[in-house]
Amino acid sequence: MQLPAALLTSLESANGFDKDAFLKVHESGEQVTSIRVNPTKFEILNLKFKSEEKIPWARNGFYLQERPSFTFDPLFHAGCYYVQEASSMFLEQVLKQTVDLSKPIKILDLCAAPGGKSTHIQSLINQESLLVSNEVIKSRNNILKDNIIKWGCENVVVTNNDPKDFARLENYFDVIVVDAPCSGSGLFRKEPEAINHWSENNVQLCSQRQQRILVDVLPALKKDGVLIYSTCSYSKEEDEDIAEWLTGEFQIENIKLQIDESWNIVKSSNSCRFWPDKVKGEGFFIAVFKKTEGSDPEKRRAIKNLTEVSKKGIEFVKQFCIVTDELSFVNGFDGVYAVNKYLLNDVNFLNSNLRVSYFGVKAGELMR
């Protein structure tokens, strides 16, 4: 594996960079396989993987000793677990340390496909909280939607919008996660072919795009709301420089995180760097901020409302679904959808302002 010389030179000043160890871990050919179990769907899997090594920063995360053929496993297709890179599961610690997850919150995962972080967030928030899982690229939005469907969540709305469309939702979210598109150097060990696409010029382009995305989405965050920014790039231009630019340009503060020393995560200013020669995982960067400006959210009015399914229709649906008092059944794009009743106003509001591609759980279609 021939790592780009310009990358290695640029990393010399990066916090925690150990060139020899870094080269060695890339040359070793060692691969780390990790999964995250879906706690609502299959508690029993926690028992199945009990003998596997736990990922210390993610409650339902496990390292597997070898990589099985996931495509032959029905439990994989049933959304009982998600195959996810271990470092990126650190998002759990960031959320637990900075957000009161026992309260109902609105959270946006802006760059969400294929859905690793969204399915993780969904397992951490409560049922009265709402996750908007967004992906701008249409083909990737379909993959995201499929993964959300497999995970099985009645409090997620999947959208297919450009970050600037979220300007219509001023002061709306309590938390925004921007897992930004990046130059991808952190995944070179897993995907060596990505090395061919790396260039200093691309790092600059990615950095500019990351700034544009953040500028576009920041108005949608409430005052005192939490912004989580992450990349799988080692380049400072996409990591610490972006964090510094954010605090310099906007009314936001960088929040410091508590990290267990034994995890070997490198603190860099108030951010966290994951080096594959130090942690059992790939390259990753994450930082968290609190917005200190903004006004109170206005009353939201939906322009179009989804119609509720008739009593007769619900009687029919009851034959196939467990209908609890918490659920509303509405006529969605192509059938009957179940959604948490506390969230129906928000679903209507989002559906009036964004391109919603899925929400809640599709229960089926009523015909004749």
Q: Footprint of ligand SAM on this chain (CB under 6 A)?
A: 111-117, 135-137, 140, 163, 179, 181, 209, 213
Return the number of the residue (214 or 336) whose C-beta is nearest ligand SAM.
214
DSSP 118: H
CB of 255 to ligand SAM, least distance (A): 20
Cα dist from 107 to 129, 132, 155, 179, 227, whole Å: 8, 6, 11, 13, 10
Cα dist from 53 to 27, 33, 46, 88, 175, whole Å: 24, 11, 12, 17, 31
272 counts as catalytic: no
CB of 316 to ligand SAM, least distance (A): 36
CB of 33 to ligand SAM, least distance (A): 16
Return the number of the residue (284 or 359) whose C-beta is nearest ligand SAM.
284
Q: Give me the catalytic one of 80, 232, 272, 321.
A: 232
Return the number of the residue (179 or 346) whose C-beta is nearest ligand SAM.
179
Strand partners for 64: 33
116, amino acid identity: G
CB of 306 to ligand SAM, least distance (A): 27
- Distance from C-alpha of 234 to C-alpha of 9, rounded to nearest angstrom: 12
Return the number of the residue (122 or 340) whose C-beta is nearest ligand SAM.
122
* 140 and 114 Cβ atoms separated by less than 8 Å: yes
Return the number of the residue (164 or 300) whose C-beta is nearest ligand SAM.
164
CB of 303 to ligand SAM, least distance (A): 25
* 40 and 50 Cβ atoms separated by less than 8 Å: no
Return the number of the residue (116 or 360) whose C-beta is nearest ligand SAM.
116
- Please enumerate, as own/partner, the contacts of 327-335 that have beta carbons within 8 Å and a separation of 24 or more: 327/154, 329/363, 330/306, 331/306, 331/307, 332/306, 332/359, 332/360, 332/362, 334/362, 334/365, 335/362, 335/363, 335/364, 335/365, 335/366
CB of 319 to ligand SAM, least distance (A): 36
Nearest CA among 108, 170, 129, 133 for reference residue 298: 170
Query: Any idea what the Cα angle at residue 14 is, between residues 90 and 250, rounded to 5°?
Result: 70
Return the number of the residue (232 or 266) whose C-beta is nearest ligand SAM.
232
Per-position DSSP letters for 258-309, written without gaps between them: ---GGG-PEEETTEEEE-TTTSSS--EEEEEEEE----PPPPP--SS-PPBP
CB of 245 to ligand SAM, least distance (A): 17
Strand partners for 178: 229
Active site residues: 232
